[in-house]
Amino acid sequence: MASNMYSVRQRISRLGQRMSSFQINLNPLKEPLGFIKVLEWFASIFTFATCGGFKGKTEILVNCPPQVSANETVTASFGYPFRLNQASFQAASDAHLCNVTWGEHVLIGDYSSSAQFYVTFAVLVFLYCIGALVLYVGYTNRYRDSRKLPMVDFVFTLIFTFLWLVSTSAWAKALTDIKITTGHSIVQELLPCKDPKVHCYFGSVTSMGSLNVSVIFGFLNMILWGGNAWFVYKETSLHSPSNTSTAHGQGGVAPPTGM
């Protein structure tokens, strides 16, 4: 009796070691489940890199005859996380150009909440993709033999699809407001420019092409995660519960044959 129990324990121990052992299998990367996960990983990198690494500036031209007859440049620099209400103006030639202390005047708006949520979420997705790929490639059998792991992966996939829609929409709206705030309307909003003695003209603003790309990648991520939900769903017991129950019920009593 004792020897039989010992042999059973040894078999269970060996089975547990085989299930928990890391073994590289690249075949999942050739399937939609793994291949799309790689695309999601790359897309998340481009998403937070194009948004989080942005730096720009907006310029206006100022003159106030007869004190200053030629146009002088006044600049406000801004960037991620886009707290524009902390971006003050700086005159290139004189800090008190036209008797105005330009450093006391700032851009309008704070869009840090949308930008930081967008970038932080993209970084979390990047980390999740790494973990999922390690599971797919290194623990292929354990993933497919488990009932819980595919289900957890499926739930996270649905949540991430929804959050990509929410975060990208919020960031797209914030980007539109940033373009307006740093564009031609800045001349009408800036207090010194309302003085009839001070003449202000919009100069230029840094191209925000990379930020447009970040929005495109956000919606691309949403499409990738939404499409991948089907392939993750196929790995769960919800897709084929009969096959799963059969696999777990092997060794039982065979069903009676038809008469």
pLDDT in tens, 25-34: 888 888 998 9
| Alpha-carbon gap, residue 155 to 88, rounded angstroms | 45
Task: Answer yes or no: is pLDDT of 132 > 70.
Answer: yes
pLDDT at 259: 33
Counted residue by residue, the chain has a size of 259
What is the Cα gyration radius of the chain? 29
Percent of the chain with pLDDT over 90: 59
Residues 6+ apart with CB under 8 A from 191: 105
Q: 202: which DSSP letter?
A: E
- Residues 149-157, mean pLDDT to the nearest whole number: 94
- Residues 103-110, mean pLDDT to the nearest whole number: 92
- Residues 32-60, mean pLDDT to the nearest whole number: 94
Identify the CA nearest to 50 among candidates 109, 112, 122, 148. Answer: 122
- Residues 40-59, mean pLDDT to the nearest whole number: 95
Task: Answer yes or no: is pLDDT of 52 > 80.
Answer: yes
Task: Answer yes or no: is pLDDT of 10 > 70.
Answer: no
Task: Answer yes or no: is pLDDT of 240 > 70.
Answer: no
Task: Answer yes or no: is pLDDT of 43 > 60.
Answer: yes
Phi, psi (5° rounding) for residue 237? -75, -15
Q: 1: which DSSP letter?
A: -
